[in-house]
């Protein structure tokens, strides 16, 4: 009583029953009445038993296939957003250099405020991406970016055409243009991070292969726009700055509806992107109305709410509380190294482009030089993996850093030597120094 009864066939010996690794016997399936001995069902162990045949390797699950309709619309929206961003980024530098010739101050202030806004408000943008409705976030970035570029082009056109404007009025227009540039930059970052870091992950559905493929194609779109966008607007600006402003404005206005509806189509075709709206916590539930503060405590509660919101906003702008965690994180040193990588004058930033234009270079030359630098950047995407595969990531990084330092030292040496030897001809020395850089 209470003991398990195990049926043993007479043909099974005691030694075979004592083997610890013996496989339990499954009854062989009987042939289906309507099947023959050659039928697939009777001869396929997995189909007939529902189990994988013993000794066979596990079958890998098929890769996640993404519809071509989804990827096509996603790439169109991303291309238009990146193309307009690169076009306006380079165009604004050329327009400012034409409006304020012979000085780097306006361009430096423009670039500094624009970059500072992106650095300080990026945490708030990330929080909005995490909590907000995906489609509304991307659509807001598209509309905000296009409106900012359109208004900025209008101001550029006024400043370039109306030379007789007073200095105070010109400064006022330029300040408004800087604010519009900050809005454009923030919307560009919002769109880029939302699509590449959120939408692509959801669309690929945790499939690493599909995600790598999407990321690679998105990166190719970025580099393509970085290569041809500045070159295109530079060639147009070399012919006419007015035409270049109108082209930038026209492309911005023509692409907004295409972006708006293509990204909405992607949202409709991928149900996983439909994040439920967060429940509002601003209004208390009906059952807790008796616990609301009385009238004489309303002012104190309002002050505390304002203080809390202010501290929350400051923590988003300057996240000092997370600084110790960042310093102790394993990614601290690599991120600092990556930041120092861009801490150099050897890049076609706004200041560098304005400097080249002020020393006598044409828009054609600057655009061509920037295109060549982008081609070198593209080549690194093929060279770096091969070098890392051959000598390792650490040694490869050391080699690349050494190569960068060598070219930086050569450029600075050329700069100082030309400046000292040609001090009597500053314009010529500036041109030669720029060519050395």
CATH 1.20.1250.20 residue window(s) in the chain? 65-275
Q: What is the topology classification, in CATH, of domain 65-275?
A: Growth Hormone; Chain: A; (1.20.1250)
Q: Which residues of 329-354 are buried (b: 16+ CB within 10 A; e: fewer)?
A: eeeeeeeeeeeeeeeeeeebbbbbbb
Query: Cβ neighbours of residue 100 under 8 Å, at least 6 residues apart?
Result: 106, 107
Q: Which of 5, 67, 3 is nearest to 271 (CA)?
A: 67
**pLDDT at residue 37 in the model:** 43
How confident is the model over 41-67, as pLDDT tens digits? Answer: 444 444 444 444 455 554 444 555 677
- Let me know how long the chain is: 437
pLDDT greater than 90 at residue 223:
no
> What is the Cα Rg of the chain in Å?
32
Residues 6 or more apart whose CB falls under 8 angstroms from that of 112 comprise none
To 10 degrees, the CA torsion angle through 145, 146, 147, 151? 100
Q: Are 150 and 252 spatial neighbours (Cβ–Cβ below 8 Å)?
A: yes
| 227-268 pLDDT, tens digit each | 888 888 888 988 888 999 999 999 999 998 999 899 999 999
- In this structure, what token pair is assigned to residue 75? 């790439």
Q: Is the Cα dihedral 303, 305, 307, 313 positive or negative?
A: negative
pTM: 0.64
For residues 401 and 148, which has the higher predicted lDDT (pLDDT)? 148
Within 8 A by CB and 6+ apart from 387, the residues are: 396, 399, 400
**HSE, side-chain direction, 13 A CA sphere, residue 281:** 1
Q: Which residues of 164-175 are buried (b: 16+ CB within 10 A; e: fewer)?
A: eeeeeebeebbe
pLDDT of 424 over the 80 cut: no
Instruction: Summarize pLDDT for 120-170 with one digit per residue, the tens.
Output: 888 888 888 888 888 899 999 999 999 999 999 999 999 998 887 888 898
| Three-class DSSP category at 57 | coil
**Residue 153 has what pLDDT?**
94
């Amino acid at each position: 009583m209470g003991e398990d009864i195990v049926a043993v066939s007479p043909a099974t010996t005691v030694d075979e029953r004592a083997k610890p690794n013996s496989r339990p016997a499954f009854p062989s399936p009987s042939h289906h009445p309507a099947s023959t001995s050659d039928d697939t069902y009777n001869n396929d162990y997995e189909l007939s038993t529902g189990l994988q045949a013993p000794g066979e390797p596990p079958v890998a699950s098929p890769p996640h296939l993404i519809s071509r309709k989804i990827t096509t619309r996603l790439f169109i929206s991303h291309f238009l957003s990146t193309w307009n961003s690169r076009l306006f980024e380079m165009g604004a530098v050329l327009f400012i250099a034409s409006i304020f010739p012979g000085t780097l101050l306006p361009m430096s202030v423009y670039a500094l405020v624009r970059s500072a806004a992106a650095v300080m408000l990026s945490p708030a943008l990330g929080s909005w991406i995490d909590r907000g409705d995906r489609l509304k976030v991307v659509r807001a970035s598209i509309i905000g970016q296009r409106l900012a570029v359109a208004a900025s082009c209008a101001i550029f056109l006024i400043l370039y055409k109306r030379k007789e404007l007073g200095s105070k009025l010109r400064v006022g227009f330029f300040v408004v243009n800087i604010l519009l540039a900050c809005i454009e930059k923030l919307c560009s970052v919002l769109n880029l991070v939302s699509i590449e870091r959120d939408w692509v992950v959801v669309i690929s559905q945790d499939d690493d292969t599909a995600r790598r493929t999407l990321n690679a194609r998105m990166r190719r779109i970025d580099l393509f726009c970085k290569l041809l966008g500045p070159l295109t607007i530079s060639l147009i600006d070399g012919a006419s700055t007015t035409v270049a402003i109108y082209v930038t404005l026209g492309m911005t206005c023509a692409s907004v509806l295409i972006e708006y509806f293509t990204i909405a189509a992607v949202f409709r075709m991928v149900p996983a992107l439909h994040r439920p709206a967060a429940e509002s916590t601003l209004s208390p539930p009906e059952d807790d109305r008796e616990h609301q503060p009385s009238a004489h405590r309303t002012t104190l509660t309002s002050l505390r709410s304002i203080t809390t919101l202010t501290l929350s906003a400051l923590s988003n702008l300057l996240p000092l509380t997370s600084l110790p965690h960042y310093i102790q994180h394993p990614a601290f040193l690599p991120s600092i190294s990556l930041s120092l990588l861009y801490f150099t004058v050897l890049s076609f930033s706004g200041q560098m482009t304005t400097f080249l234009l002020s020393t006598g270079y044409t828009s054609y030359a600057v655009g061509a030089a920037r295109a060549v630098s982008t081609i070198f950047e593209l080549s690194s995407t093929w060279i770096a993996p091969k070098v890392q595969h051959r000598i390792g990531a650490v040694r490869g990084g050391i080699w690349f850093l050494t190569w960068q330092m060598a070219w930086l030292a050569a450029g600075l040496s050329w700069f100082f030597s030309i400046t000292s030897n040609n001090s009597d001809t500053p314009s010529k020395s500036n041109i030669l120094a720029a060519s050395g850089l």
